[in-house]
Amino acid sequence: MATDVHGAVTDTLREEAPRAASPGATAVQVAGLVRAFGGRAVVDDLQLIVQPGEFVALLGRSGCGKSTLLRVLAGLDREIEGEVRVPRRKAVAFQAPRLMPWKRVWPNVLLGLPGRPDRAAAERALAEVGLGHRAEAWPKTLSGGEAQRASLARALVREPDLLLLDEPFGALDALTRIKAQRLVAELWRERGCAVLLVTHDVEEALLLADRALVMEGGRIAYETTVDLPRPREISDPRFGALRARLLDRLGVEGGTGTHAAGGADHAEVTGDGSAAAAA
């Protein structure tokens, strides 16, 4: 059952500034979230906690509801049941950069921001993503990687406490993708904001995230802590072991073949959101 946007949802979608919140406050707190389309619950009693400054990757089969969850967290979809607490300052970048072709790059970065256009802020954000020299350019003259970085600058200019990334590197070629991943890792380190990254790419999740979640049946069904030093190396045997475990959990060939390969750093997640360590 969908909640009226103008009614109960104002009670359920509370936006808080973590800087002002009490110590130990979370960046994202979701409890009993349900999002249904035509009577079918795509997100079904989902629990999720993300700590301030934590980098979390969200994996899951196509159509399992990852983008739906991200849109709810971004405040773009409020037809929900359950409780969602997110910081007031949040920003989202999608797979498609969504730049307005009739605006130059710098006003695109400021798109949707209230108040007088702050060109200097746009240029600072563009410089952060290595696009300081393209502020005056038209979007159609940007490469795919540049356009994606401009989209990232648009997120950064909002100085988010929570950065939501929906497959932002999905359309990039392999080399540009690696560069973009490194850039996000660097920005995350410098900014210290929480990041929730939706990705199909297990390696990307393991290169970037503190924690990788697998969504299944409308919930977070599995999670693993990525307790590897940064920068991470794909050649690290521990990386390989985590990759195999996640691929296995996703039902992709190349996994370990057992869902519950040992270690307390990964867990099947039970209905109430608590993690039961796999034996």
Ligand X SMILES: Nc1ncnc2c1ncn2[C@@H]1O[C@H](COP(=O)(O)OP(=O)(O)OP(=O)(O)O)[C@@H](O)[C@H]1O
Give me the least distance between CB of 66 and ligand X, in Å please. 4
Pick the closer one to ligand X by CB: 62 or 235.
62
Helices (H), 131-230: 144-156, 174-191, 202-208
Provide the H-helix boundaries in 130-173: 144-156
Minimum separation from the CB atom of position 258 to ligand X (A): 25
Contacts for 129-138: CB closer than 8 Å, 24+ residues apart: 129/153, 129/156, 129/183, 129/187, 130/183, 131/105, 134/105, 135/104, 135/105, 135/106, 136/104, 136/105, 136/106, 137/104, 137/105, 138/101, 138/104, 138/105
User: Nearest approach, Cβ of 195 to ligand X (angstroms)?
Assistant: 17
User: Closest CB to ligand X among 65 and 87?
Assistant: 65
37 binds ligand X (CB under 6 A): yes
The answer to whether 235 contacts ligand X (rule: CB under 6 A) is no
Rounded to a whole number of angstroms, the CA Rg of the chain reads 19
Cβ-based nearer residue to ligand X, 22 or 62? 62
Binding mask 38-77 for ligand X (x = CB under 6 A): ----x-----------------x-xxxxxxx---------
Q: Which is nearer to ligand X, 57 or 109 (CB)?
A: 57
Q: How many residues bind ligand X (CB under 6 A)?
A: 10
Report the C-alpha gap between 155 and 162 in whole angstroms: 10
Measured from the CB atom, is 59 or 187 closer to ligand X? 59
Binding site for ligand X (CB under 6 A): 37, 42, 60, 62-68
